[in-house]
Amino acid sequence: MANLLKDVVIDEKSRPKQLLLEKHVDYLLKYGKDANDFEFCTTEYLRMSGMYWVLTTLAVAKKLDTVQRDQFLDFIDECWDSSSGGYSACPGHDPHILYTLSAVQIAATLDAIERLPSDDIVRYVRSLQNPDGSFAGDRWGEVDTRFSFCAVATLALLGRLHLDDNDNDTDNNIDLESAVRFVLSCQNFDGGFGSRPNAESHAGLIYCCVGFLSVVRRLASIDGDTLAWWLSERQLPSGGLNGRPEKLPDVCYSWWVISSLTMLGRQRWIDSDRLKAYILASQDVETGGFSDRPGDLPDPFHTVFGVAALSLLGEPGLLQVSPTFCMPQQVIDRLGVTSQILS
Ligand code: GRG
Ligand code: ZN
């Protein structure tokens, strides 16, 4: 049985071939200035992550000096829920582990980790772990490997994840062994990972599971060759990557796939020149910003993952990005946080 290939055709003559970094910075600095803008209003439910995407792109573009630091830090404070200890996407919304990670990432990038209520955030993360080791996203109980990643990444950035044998077990804020067992139980026969045991392999969830194993330094526990084969099969004739078989290419999968391959020490398993060409072709030459595929409308989500993927691929003029945390590596180093990257 043949696999159906869906792809886009890129016009060789008109495609942008250089990184238009200044335009992307302008696009992001303008984004969100008009609170009545339709797109801004309809993305309220993910605002905290949106702020992380914008801030991370500006940081990787070496333009952190252009942001109003207090605007970001005040926003985080307004989104904190003192009773649970977690952060919401927007003031008045329910706290969620995803937005808690984004808030911690924002504070880390702005060198303001010490301002955070760390004990309460740890209490929130711990409250979401289930007896089988999995994590719920919030008090309503949805379980997903995304939340396993968010849990350990949040604790690691706060300096509250203890991995050394010498560390006292009671010191550990979550049950690490069952957390690892749960993530490993989500690896499929094809080498990929899904959201839960037996769920379809998907590149976004592979990033979460590989990222989780990178944070807790257990990458040796998985079959890296089969997984890297599945990931390399994501590259299409256009050079772009899809998130699973028979799907269209999309710039965000450049990140989910290339970061996973980088953590696995197998970045060369895809053709990076062709991937670079696809990502650059997805820039909006008029407004700035990246879209999912050439010709579509840009957004901050595809902009951060386009720029971060280009950084991993060695694009000059950008800060080095951590494939595990999707943040500037110098921020991770400043915090003294380490993660496992296979060579
Ligand atoms: C710190 C970078 C960072 C991330 C935090 C939330 C998270 C952790 C990662 C998200 C991973 C991700 C993109 C998961 C995708 C989940 C999924 C099943 C998407 C399906 O999307 P479709 O069907 O897209 O709309 P395709 O491309 O498959 O058609
Ligand atoms: Zn996408």
**In angstroms, rounded to a whole number, what is the distance separating the alpha carbons of residues 217 and 91?**
35
DSSP H helical ranges for 240-325: 251-263, 272-281, 300-312
- Give the number of whichever ligand sits closest to the CA of residue 249: 1
Q: Which regions in the chain score pLDDT beneath 70?
A: 1-2, 165-172
Distance of CA 89 to the CA centre of its chain: 16
| Cα-to-centroid distance, 166 and ligand 1 (Å) | 36
**In angstroms, rounded to a whole number, what is the distance separating the alpha carbons of residues 79 and 65?**
24
Pick the atom of ligand 1 nearest to 98's CA.
6
Angle at CA of residue 131, ends 125 and 133, nearest 5°: 60
DSSP H helical ranges for 110-199: 118-127, 145-157, 176-184
Nearest to 205 by CA among 150, 146, 274: 146
The model's pLDDT over 267-318, given as tens digits with 9 standing for 90+, comes to: 999 999 999 999 999 999 999 999 999 999 999 999 999 999 999 999 999 9
Which CATH number is 268's domain given?
1.50.10.20
| Cα-to-centroid distance, 264 and ligand 1 (Å) | 19
Domain-located, residue 340: no
Domain-located, residue 275: yes
Q: Is the CB of 211 under 6 A from ligand 1?
A: no
Domain-located, residue 13: no
| Cα-to-centroid distance, 47 and ligand 1 (Å) | 17
From 143, 150, 202, mutation site for ligand 1 pocket: most ligand atoms within 8 A of C-beta: 202
Domain-located, residue 102: yes
Q: What is the pLDDT of residue 40?
A: 80
* Alpha-carbon torsion, ordered 98, 101, 102, 106, to 10 deg: 170
pTM of the model: 0.96
**Which structural domain, as residue segments, surrounds residue 28?**
21-335
Domain-located, residue 7: no
Which residues have CB less than 5 Å away from ligand 2 (the ion)? 250, 252, 292
Q: How many domains, in total, are found in the chain?
A: 1
Residue 69 structure tokens: 């630091």
